[in-house]
Structure 1
Amino acid sequence: MSDEEDKEPQPSDFKIFVNNRDSYVGSAVTAYLTKKGFVVYGNGKNENLVNIKDLNVDDKEQVKTILSENMLVFDMTEETESTKFALDFIANATLNREINLVIFSPLLCWGGRSLKNPEEEEEKKEDEPEDKPEETEEKHEEEEETEKEPFTPVNEEDYLKRIPHELVKEQYILESRAIQLGHELERLKVTIFGVGLLYGRGENILNPFFRALWEGKMNEFPVTKSHISCIHVMNLGVAISKLLLEPPEEDSDDPKAKLLPKYHILGEENCPTFKAIGKAFSKVLANGKVREFNEDIPELHKGILNTELAAESTFLGESEDIVCQAGIIESAAKVVDEFRSKYGLTPLKVLVIGPPGSGYPEVCHKISERMKLPFIDPLELVGAATKEQGEFGDEIRGMMEENEGAINDEIICKVAHRRMAARDCRNYGWAISGFADTFAKAGEIFDHGEEEEASPHFEHIPTHVVVLTADDKVLEKHQAVNSDDSESFKKALRKYRKANEAEEDVFKFFDDRSISSIIVPAFHPNNLDEIFKFLGEPHFFGRPQEEIDAEIAEAERIEKEKKEVEAKAKEEQLVSEERNWENGEAIHDIAVKRMEEEDNKFLGEKSALLQKYLDDEVMQHVLAGIVQVCKDMPEDPVDALAEFLFAENRRMKH
């Protein structure tokens, strides 16, 4: 056996065609395969390859392009037209080499049952006693979920028994046709992957729920009680990679296996209820509460969420590349962070610090207003907590009594951390001033709870630090204007300087942790401009960055074409004029037109200069004189205006 035959296949050996690379599934598959080193082609907004639906079978170049790939990947979870055209094309094409055809199809093709109408469930609830305490109700819900076993999970061996859901009959027919083609064409290998709820990478089905919760338009996650097979959308790329590099072995001794097509279910080990999934996401994005599902979304999406369909999946095994190996519930925080990252919604957490008297509270307020962030004042929070009824208020009052009424760092940390964990701070971020102005205090606050620090949504650590600086003399001068207690101020300033001496300064703390920071002069007139430039634009729900980039690229293309058309028109005009000159025709008209253009250009420039001169040198004094005349109302206003202008002239000369 030759060395080439012994050599294991590498990703770069394979060329893969991914249909509609801009779609939710297509973009995820492309991203994973490209990262692993596969050669990926496809069609989309920024791709040159022809869309499969526009493919001309008589065009040999187009046909050659498509059939030169090792694998063709199509997705039927959102639309079926492309797959239908692809099957027609393959059925009529001549295959000169072996080609793998992979189709992602909704797991609803395996059937499942829709749960009862929410109204029936509501009537059932009304018959139950309402005087249960809240804790008992929550416990009852947990017990109910534990006791309720999922529908008997479907598996790949049940393929011949399946009856499709009414929403996916077209996908079911296309699956059967693809499998039939695989039997008829020797060089065509067909693999179908059944998928349930796809999640991650900014979401698809769950996107409207995530968005509404982030924007505060929804307070509870809408859920059903159905068990759902879930998989992170990036794992579809993992499945394709495994299919090419580690193809499953066929059991030649099992006669039943020969009858079954290459159909694999992709899903996680557990099939939780959508209610449990909703609770997990609600805890990260909102308040942890859920409600009955009654949303107006596409029928196919509604069917996936409302259909009881648990499934067993073994194809992916224990691959190290699997994203969210712990499952959708345990990975809820990571999934939400993917959503925030996709739409530029990463919480902006800003800490503003500086020496006493540097004005950091005022700067922090302005940052809060500009960036639309909750402003956190630790001292105000302590005051509010001491008046609060309940366990937390009792705890803070007890700590104050132990400390003889003084507010120490432990109390400030406790109330501030609690505020940072609130819904608005988790989703949008926060702006806080003077919270950690020394190395020791920063360590006490931000190194607290190291086991949580690895969490992608850890609330306590700032993303940006603004440090205000000023000389002691400048600070003392500003303080003297605003307060008479100069001795207390000088004492606080000395304490701050001493705490930030040598290497043990607060700046080193943030530098060591790679937290973005900026140092700006406290009283410089342009310091806010520098700070806002450092922080960037306010975060709000917008389109994904790739869509914006594509739109910018399209606008640049249109502008380029426009300039090319204008340049061509100008060139044609010059050629026409030269021809007219050579022929001695319309010489006078052309000369007059050019002279008029030059005159208009000259007059326009002069007019602009005169306008600027009037605005800068004349009108401001005339207007000031008119205002003064209106105030004084003299008998001779013209004379009074002249006197004002003469006086203004003398003042300016001196």
Structure 2
Amino acid sequence: MASQDEEKPKSKRIFINHVDQYQGKNLAKFISRCVVGASLEEPEEEDDARSTTSSIIASPKEGCYEVVGTVKDRDAPKPDFMKEVIKFDNKDQLYEHLVECDIIVYDITEDPDQIDEAVWAVSEIHSDLEKIEKPKMFILISTVMTWAKSKPLDPDDPEIPFTEDDYRRRKPHPNFKEHISAEKTVIKLGKTNKAKLVTYVVASGLTYGAEEHIFHYLFKSAWHNAPFLQCFGSGQNVVPTIHIKDLAAVIQNIADSRPKVRYLIAKDDTQTTLEEIVKAISDKLGKGKVKNITKEEALLSKDIEQSDFDQLLVNLRMDAVFVKENMRIMWVSEAGMVENIDQIIKEYKDSRKLQPLRICILGPPASGKTTVCQKLCEFYKLHHIKIKDVIEEAIEELQTLSRRADSEDQEDDDGKAQDAQELLNEIEQSKNQETGKIEDPHVIKFFRDKLHSKPCQNQGFILDGFPKTIEQANELFATEEEDDAEESATTKFDKLIMPDYVFCLEANDEFLRNRVMNLPESVVHGTHNDEEGLMKRLELYRSLNNDEETVLNYFDEKEFHPEKLDVTKDDSPMMRDTVEKIKKTIGEPRNYGPTPEELEEMKRQEEEARLKKEMEEKQEKERQEAEEASLRKQRQEEWTQRLNEVKREEFELLEAQSIPLRNYLMKHVMPTLTQGLIDCCKTRPEDPIDYIAEFLFQNNPQVD
């Protein structure tokens, strides 16, 4: 039983800071798949480690490192490869988590703010060694910039590389003095009680691989088809580099083996210059051109920060002797960036999901292919491949090349100018024989060259109405490799240019004829979209695409099943409904998304729309208030007028009602009352009221 327990791998808890950033994320992802002690085993048993170099993450095995760590963005979700993300409000809470870990890794190359935290962490652990039971390992990942100003080992031979043995002679770049101070503190604190706390410093070369970090500006520019890639300065400076997964493997080896050497250099086995790196990226991903710019011009670029600029201009020859001689590493890129550039570019595209999107839109004339292609190109940022444009570009390029045949500097031309002129002559002859049309073999060649170009291979393309026939499709998508003898004829095709999606816009002749007839004269004039031209093209299209034979059959055979869309039911402007159906089938774009300029323009448009809406709302509110005020005033006037009318009517009514009463009083009451008052005045009784009352009672006239 005891032997079985010993064979069972025991997991260890490892802390890594900022696991949501480039280095922290890739280190954590790699180490979380590493079995504790795997790097100590014999090479034939290291197959498990090889899987960690793949872009596909395998399921974690028993006995792997349990990775915990912090994040820079507190709102970032917990990565799948993490055991726990540490959220803390103060350093005391962070320290409680750190002391629970067997290994603590702090990377200070990306965020200078982490330097103080790393020094604090190792200092706190060192001060509490008496209370700590389990031994701790602290690994500081620093940068080769702490060596940037080191004097050559031999002034007469400056190409002698630095090794770990020379670390006491290192001199830092002026902007990296805090880094070397942290290195010295970590080394010093690890010497006190090695049984309880062992410390390591790893001077890492500039990291590359995965989604890219410091070299990302080069990959991004090349992928976006920049005319050239910028190389800072002369480009002759030697840049120490290491693949991010190889750096992770170094950390794994340190964690497993606890080496006696406390200061290690981590870099691949190359002495590559900056110009060689830029040239390799440009050749394989971009247009193959490099432009050297001054350091002053480079500092004006928005795409690169000061710290990255300093690192790219470093000039250091270093040799990671201990790593090469004492560590078991399944190298991903031991030979460096230049030698492994194809694999690194694939890794970059996979990590950032920058896969080319290839689409083919087919259909009869006037079915709206070009309109749909334009809308899709705008949304997906793809290249619109039209027959006319492809032929014109190819002819223009051939003419440019052929002009060199007459120039003096033909020596470096390798016969390209002569070949171009011969091809132009062949095309001219075929046009004369084919009544002005270029033969299919030449058109197919132009298309293949266009689709294999870097822009189409990087972003992707939309074929607008081509190929038209099965023969054209067979020639266009035919593979040039003959090694795959096992592949059947139905599955053999050029995977670099075969469309991922094929759509066919369908409509009857009457609908298409009516559509063209309703076009403005200015649009139709001078084109083949008049009624006669349309009918000829429709007749040709129907003959090439009958029920038994159509170019769609080619794609069906290759298992790229075309989706047919009936455009007769689409009455939306600019065929918006059809475009939306295609978008739903294809899904999200596979690119960087809007550029900063486009985002700024979108923001500006949104702001303008918001201000316009607010202005309209304000004007509408003012209009409503004015209408309400006018209505109130009108109602007030009407009410006043009606009130006065009512008062007048009431007065007239009272007047009319009082006439009979007044007549009665004047005839029957007032004479008697008047006489009574006169008598009262004459008599002067003690109680005049009683006297008047008695008088009226006695002299009351009896009125029937």
For residue 291 of structure 1, what is the aligned residue in structure 2?
Answer: 292
1:311 partner letter? M
**Cα–Cα, structure 1 residues 386 and 303, in superposed 2: closer, same or farther, change >3 Å?**
closer
**Cα–Cα, structure 1 residues 502 and 344, in superposed 2: closer, same or farther, change >3 Å?**
closer
SS in 1 for 2:191: helix
Selected match of 2:582 from 498, 514, 531: 531
**Cα–Cα, structure 1 residues 267 and 459, in superposed 2: closer, same or farther, change >3 Å?**
farther
Unmatched 5+ residue regions in structure 2? 35-59, 79-83, 402-416, 485-493, 518-529, 571-576, 596-704
For residue 172 of structure 1, what is the aligned residue in structure 2?
Answer: 180
For residue 520 of structure 1, what is the aligned residue in structure 2?
Answer: 565
The separation in 2 between residues aligned to 1:268 and 1:175, in whole angstroms, is 21
Unmatched 5+ residue regions in structure 1? 116-148, 251-257, 545-654
**Conserved? CA contact 2:390–2:446, under 8 Å:** yes
SS in 2 for 1:3: helix
For residue 30 of structure 2, what is the aligned residue in structure 1?
Answer: 32
1:77 aligns with 2:106: no
With 275-284 and 357-366 compared, the bigger mean Cα shift is at 357-366
**Cα–Cα, structure 1 residues 476 and 530, in superposed 2: closer, same or farther, change >3 Å?**
closer
The separation in 2 between residues aligned to 1:165 and 1:393, in whole angstroms, is 53
1:203 aligns with 2:212: yes
The separation in 2 between residues aligned to 1:39 and 1:305, in whole angstroms, is 34
Residue pairs, 1:180-219, within 5 angstroms: 180-185=188-193, 186-212=195-221, 219=228
CA-atom RMSD, angstroms? 4.1
2:318 partner letter? A
Selected match of 2:465 from 434, 457, 476: 434
**Cα–Cα, structure 1 residues 100 and 208, in superposed 2: closer, same or farther, change >3 Å?**
same
Deviations 1:171-213 (A, max 9, x none): 2222222222222122222232211211233332223444455
**Cα–Cα, structure 1 residues 496 and 14, in superposed 2: closer, same or farther, change >3 Å?**
farther
For residue 313 of structure 2, what is the aligned residue in structure 1?
Answer: 306
Larger Rg: 2
With 199-208 and 86-95 compared, the bigger mean Cα shift is at 199-208
The separation in 1 between residues aligned to 2:594 and 2:370, in whole angstroms, is 34
Deviations 1:27-69 (A, max 9, x none): 111222334533211111246754689321xx6xx54432222
For residue 16 of structure 2, what is the aligned residue in structure 1?
Answer: 18
**Conserved? CA contact 1:197–1:228, under 8 Å:** yes
Deviations 1:226-270 (A, max 9, x none): 11111122333222333345x27x6xxxxxxx6xx3322221121
Selected match of 2:247 from 232, 236, 259: 236
1:42 aligns with 2:40: no
**Cα–Cα, structure 1 residues 183 and 216, in superposed 2: closer, same or farther, change >3 Å?**
same
Deviations 1:121-170 (A, max 9, x none): xxxxxxxxxxxxxxxxxxxxxxxxxxxx9822222233344344443332
For residue 508 of structure 1, what is the aligned residue in structure 2?
Answer: 557
Identity score, percent:
21
Residue pairs, 1:129-140, within 5 angstroms: none
TM-score by length of 1: 0.64
**Conserved? CA contact 1:358–1:475, under 8 Å:** no
**Conserved? CA contact 1:198–1:233, under 8 Å:** yes
1:76 partner letter? I
The separation in 2 between residues aligned to 1:162 and 1:184, in whole angstroms, is 23
Residue pairs, 1:568-579, within 5 angstroms: none
**Cα–Cα, structure 1 residues 347 and 491, in superposed 2: closer, same or farther, change >3 Å?**
closer
1:470 aligns with 2:506: yes
**Conserved? CA contact 1:227–1:310, under 8 Å:** yes
The separation in 2 between residues aligned to 1:89 and 1:463, in whole angstroms, is 59
For residue 394 of structure 1, what is the aligned residue in structure 2?
Answer: 421
**Conserved? CA contact 1:18–1:40, under 8 Å:** yes
Between the two proteins, the alignment pairs up a number of residues equal to 487
TM-score by length of 2: 0.60
Selected match of 1:66 from 98, 102, 106: 98
**Cα–Cα, structure 1 residues 469 and 208, in superposed 2: closer, same or farther, change >3 Å?**
closer
**Conserved? CA contact 2:229–2:289, under 8 Å:** yes
1:99 aligns with 2:100: no
**Cα–Cα, structure 1 residues 395 and 35, in superposed 2: closer, same or farther, change >3 Å?**
farther
The separation in 1 between residues aligned to 2:187 and 2:161, in whole angstroms, is 24
Deviations 1:61-107 (A, max 9, x none): x5443222221110121321221121122122232112222211101
**Conserved? CA contact 2:451–2:497, under 8 Å:** no
SS in 1 for 2:176: helix
SS in 2 for 1:376: strand
**Cα–Cα, structure 1 residues 217 and 415, in superposed 2: closer, same or farther, change >3 Å?**
closer
The separation in 2 between residues aligned to 1:463 and 1:89, in whole angstroms, is 59
Selected match of 2:160 from 149, 152, 166: 152
**Cα–Cα, structure 1 residues 67 and 348, in superposed 2: closer, same or farther, change >3 Å?**
same
With 334-343 and 265-274 compared, the bigger mean Cα shift is at 334-343
The separation in 2 between residues aligned to 1:336 and 1:367, in whole angstroms, is 26
